[in-house]
Amino acid sequence: MFIKKEIKNQIGILTIDRPDALNAMNPDILKEMDQAVKGMIADESVGVIILTGAGEKAFIAGADIKVMQQLDKRAALEFGKLGQEVTMTIEDSPKPVIAAVNGFALGGGCEIALSCHLRFVSENAIFAQPEVKLGLIPGWGGTQRLPRIVGKGNAIELIIGGHMINADEAHRIGLANKVFPLNDLLEESMKFAKIILGNGPNCIAESLHCINESAGHSLIDGLNMEVDSFSQLFETDETTEGLTAFVEKRKANFR
């Protein structure tokens, strides 16, 4: 089991706990997270969900690169769709999901944070969509949700640059809602959850539904397009080189 579950004062807290891989997500953890979020949605004693990472270093350091290194196109399509399903479970939740980002939120980790309704982040938080450095593109919704949250220009800069940004920059571009000292992050997230809990649950659910719909109906089309491109790459030398270079702890040689 990689996800710890706790309920405190109507707040469901899910903590991804895989410290040896900086909370990187493999298929088992993705399935566990999907079930855990659905469990909190179904639990009548829960009104708000907080998603965070164990430890002081990482929220989620991305999709598991060692798993991806072994994937062919078909398996990559499945892996991409599984990650996208989890992000849809989170985004479609009628109960607000707050990402308490306590460190690295990279690649799939950033994409899971993007699917949450709010991103409260610690001062040491680091965001990136570094897929292009691995011979990949984002596969769990980054190309579709990032522009909707930070604007097309900022999203393009992050996705084709692949570089990391700190909490202040994430806040400046609207990726982070609020920034707190690491030690206060969970408490401050719970304080805001308490404010939400004072508001009408149906109104909140309807607000979230309408806001999600405001982005248009093309998200699913966009996700399908994205996951097709993501999986196609697994037939290219560039992707093999990018994933292998990471595992061999060397810089990738793409050209």
Active site residues: 111, 131
**From candidates 12, 139, 147, 242, binder to ligand CAA by CB under 6 A:** 139
Count interface residues toward ligand CAA (CB under 6 A).
23
Q: Tell whether residue 33 is a contact of ligand CAA (CB under 6 A).
A: no
Among 137-145, 146-154, 170-178, 210-218, the segment contacting ligand CAA (CB under 6 A): 137-145
Is the Cβ of residue 86 or residue 179 nearer to ligand CAA in the bound state?
86
Among 9-17, 85-93, 102-110, 171-179, the segment contacting ligand CAA (CB under 6 A): 102-110
CB contact at 8 A, 42 and 185 = no
Among 7-15, 130-138, 195-203, 216-224, the segment contacting ligand CAA (CB under 6 A): 130-138
Query: What tokens does 160 get?
Result: 């084709």
Query: What tokens does 53 get?
Result: 């990472």
Is the Cβ of residue 60 or residue 204 nearer to ligand CAA in the bound state?
60
Among 135-143, 148-156, 165-173, 232-240, the segment contacting ligand CAA (CB under 6 A): 135-143
In whole angstroms, how close is the CB of 139 to ligand CAA at the nearest point? 4
Q: Tell whether residue 91 is a contact of ligand CAA (CB under 6 A).
A: no
Give the contact letters, 53-72, x = binds to ligand CAA (CB under 6 A), - = no: --------xxxxxx------
Binding site for ligand CAA (CB under 6 A): 21-22, 24, 61-66, 83, 104, 106-108, 111, 130-131, 134, 136, 138-140, 142
